[in-house]
Amino acid sequence: MLRQVYILNKEKVMYNKNFGKAVQSEDFSKLYQDILEEITKRTGLMQDSYDYIKYKIVFIYDENLGLMFMFITDINDDLSRTRTELSKLQKEFLDTFGDDIDDLDPALMEILDPIIDSIHRNLKTKISLVGFSGVGKTTSTKLICASEIPSVHIPTITGKISTAKIGKLYFHLWDFAGQEQFSYLWNDFIIGSDAVLIITNSTLENVEKSRFFIELVKEHAPHAHAAIIANKQDLPDALSVEKIEEILGLKTYSMVAIDPANRDKMIQIIADILGISADASPLLRPLFERDELIAQAKKSLENGDIAETAKFFERISDLCLELGDDGLYKEFYEKAKKLKGY
Residue with more model confidence, 53 or 119? 119
The domain defined by 282-340 folds into 1.25.40
**144 neighbors 167 (Cβ within 8 angstroms):** no
Q: Check if the beta carbon of residue 98 is closer than 8 Å to that of residue 108.
A: no
What are the residues facing 6 on neighbouring strands? 16, 70
Rounded to an integer, what distance in angstroms lies between the CA atom of residue 175 and that of residue 189? 9
The CA distance from 257 to 144, in Å, is: 9
* pLDDT score at 22: 87
Torsion of CA 296, 299, 305, 310, to 10 degrees: 40
Residue 304: strand, helix, or coil: coil
Buried b / exposed e across 236-270, counting CB within 10 Å, b at 16+?
eebbebeebbebbebebbbbbbbeeebbebbbbbb
Q: Average pLDDT in the 63-88 region?
A: 92
pLDDT range class, residue 294, cuts 50, 70, 90 = confident
**In the prediction, which pLDDT does 147 show?**
55
Pairing of strands 55-62, 67-74: antiparallel
For residues 336 and 318, what is the distance between their CA atoms, to the nearest angstrom? 11
pLDDT in tens, 97-149: 987 787 788 888 889 988 998 999 888 888 999 998 889 888 888 888 765 44
* Cβ neighbours, 10 Å, residue 104: 14
Q: How far apart are CA 188 and CA 272, in angstroms?
A: 26
Model confidence at 182, in pLDDT bands (50, 70, 90)?
A: low
Residue pair 271/194 in contact (Cβ under 8 Å)? The answer is no
Distance CA 91, CA 133 (A): 47
Q: Provide the greatest CA pair distance for the chain.
A: 73
CA distance linking residue 137 with residue 326, whole number of Å: 27
Q: pLDDT at position 257, please?
A: 93
Mean pLDDT of 259-269: 86
Which of these, 227, 130, 226, 230, lies nearest to 182 by C-alpha position?
Answer: 130
CA 97 to CA 86: how far, in whole Å? 17
Burial of 127 from C-beta contacts in 10 A (0-12 / 13-18 / 19+): buried
Q: Which amino acid is at 187?
A: N
Q: How many CA atoms lie within 13 A of 217 on its CB side?
A: 24
Helix (H, G, I), strand (E, B) or coil at 241: helix
- Residue 264 confidence (pLDDT) above 70: yes
Beta bridge partners of 7: 15, 69
CB 231 within 8 A of CB 220: no
User: pTM for the full model?
Assistant: 0.76
Cα(147)–Cα(170) distance, rounded to whole angstroms? 16
Q: Nearest Cα to 251, choosing from 274, 285, 277?
A: 274
Rounded Cα gap, residues 134 and 333, in angstroms: 39
What number does CATH give the domain 126-274? 3.40.50.300
> Could you state, in order of their start, the residue ranges of all structural domains in the chain?
2-122, 126-274, 282-340
Fold for 2-122, please state it.
Answer: Beta-Lactamase (3.30.450)
Q: Which residues pair with 49 in a beta bridge?
A: 58
Query: Which residues does 205 contact at the CB level (< 8 Å), separation at least 6?
Result: none
